[in-house]
Structure 1
Amino acid sequence: MPYELKHVFASLPQMERGVAKVIGGDPKGNNFLYTNGKCVIIRNIENPAIADIYTEHAHTVTVAKYAPSGYYIASGDASGRIRIWDTTQKEHLLKYEYTPLSGKVKDIAWTEDSKRIAAVGDGREKFGAVFLWDSGSSVGELSGHAKLINSVDIKQTRPYRLALASDDTCGSFFEGPPFKFKFTMREHSQFVNCVRFSPDGNRFVTAGADGQMFLYDGKDGNLISTLGGEKAHKGGIYAISWSPDSSQLISASGDKTVKLWDVGAETAVTTFNLGSDVTDQQLGCLWQNEHLLTISLSGYINYLDKNNPDRTIRTVKGHSKSIQCVTVHKKDGRPHIYSGSHDGHINILFTHSGQ
């Protein structure tokens, strides 16, 4: 009798203190993506118990992003390799593979026509590359930074613009394609962790380890304002994500809060308090349709409630490191799965009777 896969119990994202975790959003609105070890985890956003796992990378995967078409995912790993693979087939067939960087890939961005990819991170001779997805041919040069680049985003409306955020405390602005360096943004005083364009392309925001966020014009890159005045958060800001209508955004911070901003008014309208422990630091976020997701340093995935900022709608828990032991115990005729992992967690999974 052949064995048949019934369920995938997905791991949590693997987290590192002080390092942002990128959550990839599905343009079709169904799923979200993150990485753990050599795997890319795809989870249903309505029911995160439904999961799929991509396991073809030879090195630790650091970031994964859907193409705007929704048909492909580009994932980057610690060796600088980018794999572009199919989302529609169960086998996730590899379409193309490139090695644009010589070190860890930190972030990936696609143009809205799903034809060009920008990849940034660490490297010896360069910290970023932008290329055609089907040939690997360069479509510009991502220069102007002296240290590793943490974040990249591309304006999703024409004319295309590209922005970078780097450990050298600067951001940079490019026009293209082919993408050409225009100028450096020097407003931050510490590492710049994240840059994101609004969906309508009119504006973009940078967020940094200095707890500040700056709002810029999406077309010419000119500074518009400072969000939240001198300090948007008490701690470093690791991630930002815009609302689908481009009027609001959320920011995730090491101060263990997430803030919801009215960009037009330049003020925070809601503050979500996610706890008081070190592991409650917020290192990633995603705004997809009506869902607001954040990732804590513990790896827990939080579904935020705009109407009740002090309680989450749902917190997805699990293991973030290798599972060392598993046992099954029946109680009241119902099987319970107990699992223990390298991070010191013991989880109990309830299964339906007979499964």
Structure 2
Amino acid sequence: MSYKNSALSHHFLFYLAYIFATLPRTQRGQPVVLGGDPKGKNFLYTNGNSVIIRNIENPAISDIYTEHSCAVNVAKYSPSGFYIASGDQSGKVRIWDTVNQEHLMKNEFQPIGGPIKDISWSPDSQRMVVVGEGRERFGHVFMADTGTSVGEISGQSKSINSCDFRPARPFRIVTGSEDNTVGVFEGPPFKFKKTKQDHARFVQAVRYAPAGNLFASAGFDGKVFLYAGDTADLVGEIGSPAHKGGVYAVGWKPDGTQLLTASGDKTCRLWDVETRSLISEFPMGTQVEDQQVSCLWQGQYLLSLSLSGFINYLDVNNPSKPLRIIKGTDYIHY
């Protein structure tokens, strides 16, 4: 049979027009990490073995990375925007290219021996901290290019749910653990400095303000605390408490003046950082699936994630109704 008449000759007619993106995979009692692109164009999340990248302005435009061999838990852009690091259930981290359509792999490392729960890059995109449920250790700090160790994550006795790199010098790393503590590390090389013991239940999220002058911690006790970015001294508590249910995530306004919180009490709340007082509340429903398990503040967009997997675009001018809710492959405008 000639090549011209073979079935092979037809495969050139097919091209990828659209990817119908799936929603994030959620699980009751588990925070979900939404990643933001430093250029402000995309956001990302995971479902099964895939990392899904979506255009924040037009979420119908999406891309997908499927090279992990088991479930992926978290994916984060490097501050340069050129790479994404994704961490999976087996403790592997894959670092891959965002520029080429093929998403070529740059590196693969195995920093811990169990599920990775969070990843954070240093502001120069050179170092990385990963945390989770490792057997020998709950986290590790290493060079993104070589995998060389640049510190130990120690001093906490249970799984670590969240980590963040201070986006300014002197570098710091903070971690939030299921032993109810916030861990503080100084470096490089990063060494354990102290734990903060203000939470009464699991710490689910730790995030630095964009300028690095403060960081926030959020826990299943419904509390949110603010600390000094360099010394980790307690600045104060936001709200009293911030929520009636556990707080799963926090998101900083780009100028650092406000903080968004997402809670199992089925609300998101917006706080004034200086006064630590409530600006507004976003009621997200009354059903179990309306629990809010993640949030992201990306430029002008405030996103939250419901336990149902729905992605909500919050409206600061009308907190009672989201601007848009993404439900599967379609999305609803209000």
Q: Is the TM value for this pair above 0.5?
A: yes
Equivalent position to 1:254, from 250, 264, 274:
264
Is the 8 Å Cα contact of residues 324 and 331 (structure 2) preserved in structure 1?
no
What RMSD in Å do the two structures reach over aligned CA positions?
A: 1.2
Structure-1 residue corresponding to 2:287: 277
Structure-2 residue corresponding to 1:296: 306
Matched, 1:152 2:184: no
Please state how far the C-alpha of 1:3 moved relative to its aligned partner.
1.1
Structure-1 residue corresponding to 2:6: none
In structure 2, how many angstroms separate the alpha carbons of the residues matched to 1:315 and 1:158?
38
In structure 1, how many angstroms separate the alpha carbons of the residues matched to 2:280 and 2:36?
22
Structure-1 residue corresponding to 2:80: 69
Matched, 1:21 2:16: no
Partner SS, residue 151 of structure 1: strand
Please state how far the C-alpha of 1:348 moved relative to its aligned partner.
11
Please state how far the C-alpha of 1:5 moved relative to its aligned partner.
1.2
Structure-2 residue corresponding to 1:101: 112
Structure-1 residue corresponding to 2:4: none
- After TM superposition, the score normalised by the length of structure 1 is 0.89
Please state how far the C-alpha of 1:263 moved relative to its aligned partner.
0.5
Change (3 A) 1:348 1:210: closer
Is the 8 Å Cα contact of residues 325 and 331 (structure 2) preserved in structure 1?
no
Alignment coverage as a number of residue pairs: 321
Partner SS, residue 289 of structure 2: helix
Equivalent position to 1:7, from 7, 18, 30:
18
Unpaired segments ≥5 residues, structure 2: 1-9
Structure-1 residue corresponding to 2:324: 314
Structure-1 residue corresponding to 2:3: none
Equivalent position to 1:174, from 158, 180, 185:
185
Structure-1 residue corresponding to 2:275: 265
In structure 2, how many angstroms separate the alpha carbons of the residues matched to 1:142 and 1:248?
29
Equivalent position to 2:217, from 191, 201, 206:
206
> What do the CA deviations read for 1:37-77 (whole angstroms, capped 9, x no partner)?
00000000000000000000001000000000000000000
Superposition misfits of 4+ residues, deviation over 4 angstroms: none
Partner SS, residue 22 of structure 2: coil
User: 1:200-239, aligned counterparts within 5 Å?
Assistant: 200-229=211-240, 231-239=241-249
Partner SS, residue 139 of structure 1: strand
- After TM superposition, the score normalised by the length of structure 2 is 0.95
In structure 1, how many angstroms separate the alpha carbons of the residues matched to 2:56 and 2:269?
21
What one-letter code is carried by the residue in structure 1 that aligns with 2:322? Answer: T
> What do the CA deviations read for 1:250-296 (whole angstroms, capped 9, x no partner)?
00000000000101010110100000010000000000000000000
Percentage of pairs with the same residue? 55
> What do the CA deviations read for 1:172-226 (whole angstroms, capped 9, x no partner)?
1111111111111000000000000000000001000000011100000101101
Is the 8 Å Cα contact of residues 290 and 307 (structure 2) preserved in structure 1?
yes
In structure 1, how many angstroms separate the alpha carbons of the residues matched to 2:331 and 2:306?
21
In structure 1, how many angstroms separate the alpha carbons of the residues matched to 2:176 and 2:134?
15
Change (3 A) 1:44 1:348: closer
Unpaired segments ≥5 residues, structure 1: 320-346, 350-355
What one-letter code is carried by the residue in structure 2 that aligns with 1:8? Answer: I
